[in-house]
Each structure stands twice: as structure tokens, then as C-alpha cells.
Amino acid sequence: MEDSATTAALVGVVMGLLEILKKGFQKTQGGSMEFRLASMEKQMETMGEKMSDFHKMFYDFREQTLIKWAKEERDDPRDA
């Protein structure tokens, strides 16, 4: 009976130490898997927003450039 109680206590201590080590490794690697996944989801949303903004700015620039070129072509004295 005494041996099984000692074994149970030893197993409990080992399991506790494993949990402590596991939490320590999670902290050094940037947190738990759930935290890292949530962080990556936020980064992907931010990238999507930035890509959308880039598309808008690019197409605005393209249209402004086409208008400028059309005006320059219209006002070009070499065509007269």
C-alpha cells in the first residue's frame, strides 16, 4: 500500500514538472498555439486591409496618369 502511494506521489510530481516545463516552452516560443493562431488571423486581416488600400491607391494613380497623358497628348504642339 505504501509503495502505491509513493508511486502515485512521484507520478504527480513528474506530471506537475512536465506542465511547468510545457508552460515555460510556450512562453519562450511566443505563447500558446491559440494565441499564435489569433495573432496570425489579425495579421492576415491587416494584410487584407492594406492590400485593399493598395488596390484603391494604385487604380487612382493609374487613372490620374492616364488623364494627365491624355491632356498632354491633346495639348502637344507637335500634332498641330
Q: Write the DSSP string, the chain.
A: -HHHHHHHHHHHHHHHHHHHHHHHHHHHTTS-HHHHHHHHHHHHHHHHHHHHHHHHHHHHHHHHHHHHHHHHHHT-GGG-
Those residues with Cβ within 8 angstroms of residue 73's Cβ, 6 or more apart along the chain or in another chain = 79
Q: The pTM is what?
A: 0.49
Question: Which of 26-30, 53-57, 61-65, 74-78 shows the lowest mean pLDDT across its residues?
Answer: 26-30
Per-domain residue ranges of the chain: 1-31, 32-80
Does residue 10 carry a pLDDT above 80?
A: yes
